[in-house]
Structure 1
């Protein structure tokens, strides 16, 4: 089998202000990491259907984002989150790529997949765009798997350095999704305390102190996350793959190294191999040092590729 890589040229049409960390060049880093990697099948991320978005967001929010897109220039939704003329298409393809990747993996076209699109999604709440994010891509994917593909249990692991507050908000009442987020605390967006457990105690937040490295991460995952995943035995594992816990990243203060992403991906794939036939779909979240992003994406996807052989 193969590993699918979903990309979208439309992501280049989402243009943030000069100096913004969530920049078009992030796609160049992903391209550099994956374009020459063998064992990948590249596919164009399709535009999500409106019904995909409304699995998690109300129609009025979808319409509000679409209607706010300018014909030229930029519109600020908040201090961090901007719309340019190509932003809506880019965001719809980031969500659509997630849905398509899940379908392909569940249909047996591939063992696993990586959705390397932008903008990211894990900060987008039910009716609030924030933290560079417009739509909750990974949450939309989870609900698609449950509501349309008949799965009964899905797990999401979010290892971005920032808490996935949007994913948590969108899935707070969803008992069928185990949501695990490891993240630096204190840090934007200020959520993600261990006491935030979800309506059905299906949320696991694991705050990490500034300055901590891969040693602590590995301990937390070995003692808390991996056992919880095995006990939950999801039928599909989704990953919010943010690479901004890397020591080189400018927006946070964790000290992970590229090899930590290799180790972490291997561990998550081991669980997926044991409980759900290796079915993993990963989607790009953060990562703002371009060299570290390139190296970390390459490390992450290389593991997925190796597991698909």
Structure 2
């Protein structure tokens, strides 16, 4: 058994204006970094509107489709743009995440990495923002609950930015434990420890700008992993953003590849002890291309090693 890798060329259809950090080259850097690895490579299927409606109303989908330009770009806000193929690309992300959950829960793979774009963790119920259109990981978690009958799913979001969209989409969902570590203060401005969710099922772990791997490891060892072990998830999803890297231009944490490897290894150890190693990781941020490729390689290497 090996690690499954979901991606699709349609993700290149989401083109942002020149100079935008969320660029087509991000996925190219990821694919280069993983080119020599022993992975079960699968084309991400298209998600359906029924998948998206697990978290978003139909009017959100309709509004995005209606805003698609015939050519060029249409701005949603100062950060988030639509190109003609943007919804198609985002549907590959939703479909890839749900298919990865299907594969892992069926035993076809023990874990999976889904490399698609645009990312998803900032998208709120009816608001596309922060480069994100649909809440991909939140949708995948609801898919595991509603279509596979799971009762306890954990999401670990280590993107440098708070996963405000995932938090908002799952605020009242008692069957999902959401943990986000993130630099604070930083965009989008949410993610205080006092934001606990309607059932106290959300844990926000702010990290100070300028801090590095030592602070992150202490926070996860002290706050995150004991709580997740007590929760005993049946599946762990990861919002895998790599913009906490010291080289990333959009933030100010000082993680290195070894820190992403350590964190991935510890999540996989927890998954082995709690849920048969079942992990689905989905790409979020990471905007320095060299750092992104190296960090993804470290992350996926640990997913593969956890199978032994």
TM bin (shorter chain): over 0.9
Does the aligned pair in 2 maintain the 1:6–1:43 contact within 8 Å? yes
Q: Name the structure 1 match of 2:179.
A: 180
Q: Name the structure 2 match of 1:141.
A: 140
Q: Name the structure 1 match of 2:3.
A: 3
Distance 2:166 2:88 in 1: 21
* 1:115-140, Cα deviation, whole Å (9 max, x unpaired): 00000000000000000000000000
Q: Name the structure 1 match of 2:53.
A: 54
Does the aligned pair in 1 maintain the 2:157–2:238 contact within 8 Å? yes
* 1:75-109, Cα deviation, whole Å (9 max, x unpaired): 00000000001101000000110000000000000
Q: Name the structure 2 match of 1:301.
A: 300
Distance 2:230 2:68 in 1: 44
Q: Give the number of aligned pairs.
A: 308
TM-score normalised to structure 1 length = 0.99
**Which runs of no fewer than 5 residues in structure 1 stay unpaired?**
none
Query: Cα offset for 1:67?
Result: 1.4
Distance 1:103 1:307 in 2: 20
Secondary structure, in 3 states, of the residue corresponding to 1:308?
coil
Q: Name the structure 2 match of 1:225.
A: 224
* 1:182-211, Cα deviation, whole Å (9 max, x unpaired): 000000000000000000000000000000
Secondary structure, in 3 states, of the residue corresponding to 2:254?
coil
Distance 1:219 1:194 in 2: 16
1:29 paired with 2:46, answer no
**Which runs of no fewer than 5 residues in structure 2 stay unpaired?**
none
Q: Name the structure 1 match of 2:13.
A: 13
Distance 1:250 1:291 in 2: 12
Query: Cα offset for 1:257?
Result: 0.6
Query: Cα offset for 1:305?
Result: 1.1
Q: Name the structure 1 match of 2:79.
A: 80
RMSD of aligned alpha carbons: 0.5
Stretches of 4+ aligned residues off by more than 4 angstroms: none
Secondary structure, in 3 states, of the residue corresponding to 1:17?
coil
Does the aligned pair in 1 maintain the 2:153–2:176 contact within 8 Å? yes
Distance 2:270 2:227 in 1: 10
Q: Name the structure 2 match of 1:286.
A: 285
Distance 1:95 1:69 in 2: 18
Distance 1:291 1:258 in 2: 11
Distance 2:28 2:36 in 1: 13
Does the aligned pair in 2 maintain the 1:110–1:308 contact within 8 Å? no
Distance 2:147 2:13 in 1: 30
Distance 1:217 1:306 in 2: 22
Q: Name the structure 2 match of 1:106.
A: 105
Query: Cα offset for 1:20?
Result: 0.3
Distance 2:65 2:112 in 1: 28
